[in-house]
Structure 1
């Protein structure tokens, strides 16, 4: 092998390494995964679990950077404005990339144009729950019973949520419209106060995250009438989908991984391969099951199409509620 040939090989290898940020930056750089919510919640926990599993595939550590605030907009904006080099990625969620663009009067980023999808991570069902004592007193044992009661007693039902524009609020308004009933919306300052109001009988029903509601369902304090996914949830198999009664009803919680727009396709593909493999690992699935989170690994194209459809769906939902955040 002559010197010119050897030099050519070395230059080619250097160029290949330069195309993948993790390869040439081992030991000096880490991938930053921005979580636009506080530490300790389900999104944060799942992000940390995946970060631990992909470090070998990416050739270096993945550092979680929690940037909560403004309904997730602060952290999402950091990702949107980061360099498209594969060293900063982030979480895209129902709120940040489907609800907030219609809820907030001013948005710091464009949910559709400013991100390159990597893969969806998980789907978590929401569940329609009643205070068990209230359900017994009103003789409501099913979703059909609730709808029938609402039609026979207009204006007597109410429901709680974590605030105007929250997932529980939007689900409640979708349900009222689809079922043809009226129920007073009572917003609370967060999901926990809303659940406490339901447990104490201050409100009749809530649409809650299954992970949050499950302990009280198991304890018999809450009665689960239906889940909001199109199919039954493996975590609550006895609860039918709302869609079995109200065709097409679907409003679950999801999140996934995105990079800044303009990130090279080769980098996106490398990230996708690493995170999809981590999502499919039995250890990951077992850990996510404890959070009632179903892993949903996808291609970048599938996740992009999914987010586009969700953005269009929530435009109608949010506008119907009239909710706005200035």
Structure 2
């Protein structure tokens, strides 16, 4: 007996198309692909990575270091788009409200999750609920650098200079609540000194003004280390729990008396909440492989950072831990958003 199948209308409903697919599969004696097959076919088109800070900063440089080999690994173009502003909230919101299909990702500092909810009373989205961690990329250290014309040569002389000149010394940051800003506020609190905060829309413009002498010092997330090596900036201390392998002779602030000083943050990739778990797993696996390659390790090390491959849950747990400790500092210092 010959079976005929009517042609589906050109604008059939999703329910009708699904019913038709089920019927055809049954007639052919086959089963539809399981949900997990999405990971096998992903990605089927280009992926966009939104960096929620301007070009040239640490987040941008890390994103570009990872996305080039990620493009080769996935077999699809991976395009970086910078959408800075509001401490990372503009780019973060754009990704949070994108389709949860794995084709729009976010590269951000950990501060968007662990800091911004404490300083922006009316967040346009909830970074914990509306985004999901995909893969940590790097632990980013902050380096206390001063303009070479500032009359100090050691961290001890710098702290004494700050005490002797309250309100006469300025520091640049990538913006309110950024890890370099929080590092400076930690310094002011623990050393009992005062300096004037000059916020910028990213680390790169803040660094340009430090090089130009418009501000006196900065906690650098690594983009200025080339200028330290060239003698254009003076590196006095590291704002981490341990010394940097690149500068083993430079002390940590903890070592010079600011006990427990640690302003490190994790930079990494996020996806809209609801992105299929198998897609997140695939991205995490590929990114972790990339972080183990010498070329990417060298790029991250050039920023003074360290690759930080980890599972999404470990990445989330670190963000929540940072939220607790930074939240206490933000409350104590009454820090608010831009």
SS state at 1:54 partner? helix
1:211 Cα deviation from its structure 2 partner: 2.0
Say yes or no: does 1:11 pair with 2:31: yes
Alignment of 1:73-84 (within 5 A): 73-84=89-100
Asked if the contact 2:188–2:195 (Cα under 8 Å) also holds between the matched residues in 1, the reply is: no
Picking from 147, 157, 172, the partner of 1:161 is 172
Asked if the contact 2:115–2:326 (Cα under 8 Å) also holds between the matched residues in 1, the reply is: yes
Q: Which residue of 1 aligns with 2:126?
A: 110
Where structure 1 has 5 or more consecutive residues not aligned to the other structure, the ranges are none
Q: Cα RMSD between the aligned structures?
A: 3.1
Q: Which residue of 2 aligns with 1:242?
A: 253
Say yes or no: does 1:323 pair with 2:338: no
221-230 vs 36-45, greater mean Cα deviation:
36-45
More helix by share: 1
Q: Which residue of 2 aligns with 1:309?
A: 321
CA distance in 2, matches of 1:196, 1:52: 27
Asked if the contact 1:134–1:201 (Cα under 8 Å) also holds between the matched residues in 2, the reply is: no
Q: Deviations over 1:3-40 (max 9, x none)?
A: x99966x526x2266432x61663xx223222223344
CA distance in 1, matches of 2:155, 2:306: 24
194-203 vs 226-235, greater mean Cα deviation:
194-203
CA distance in 1, matches of 2:210, 2:61: 26
1:70 Cα deviation from its structure 2 partner: 2.4
1:149 Cα deviation from its structure 2 partner: 5.3
Residues 185 and 287 of structure 1: CA distance in aligned 2, closer, same or farther (over 3 Å): same
Residues 55 and 186 of structure 1: CA distance in aligned 2, closer, same or farther (over 3 Å): closer
Where structure 2 has 5 or more consecutive residues not aligned to the other structure, the ranges are 1-24
For normalisation by structure 2, the TM-score amounts to 0.79
1:104 Cα deviation from its structure 2 partner: 2.0
Q: Deviations over 1:20-74 (max 9, x none)?
A: 2x61663xx2232222233444322332332222235435332323333322212
Say yes or no: does 1:119 pair with 2:147: no
1:157 Cα deviation from its structure 2 partner: 6.0
Asked if the contact 1:157–1:182 (Cα under 8 Å) also holds between the matched residues in 2, the reply is: no
Picking from 210, 219, 226, the partner of 1:215 is 226
For normalisation by structure 1, the TM-score amounts to 0.82
Query: How many residues were matched structurally?
Result: 311
Residues 45 and 6 of structure 1: CA distance in aligned 2, closer, same or farther (over 3 Å): farther
Greater CA radius of gyration, 1 or 2? 2
Asked if the contact 1:228–1:250 (Cα under 8 Å) also holds between the matched residues in 2, the reply is: yes
SS state at 1:297 partner? coil
SS state at 1:120 partner? strand
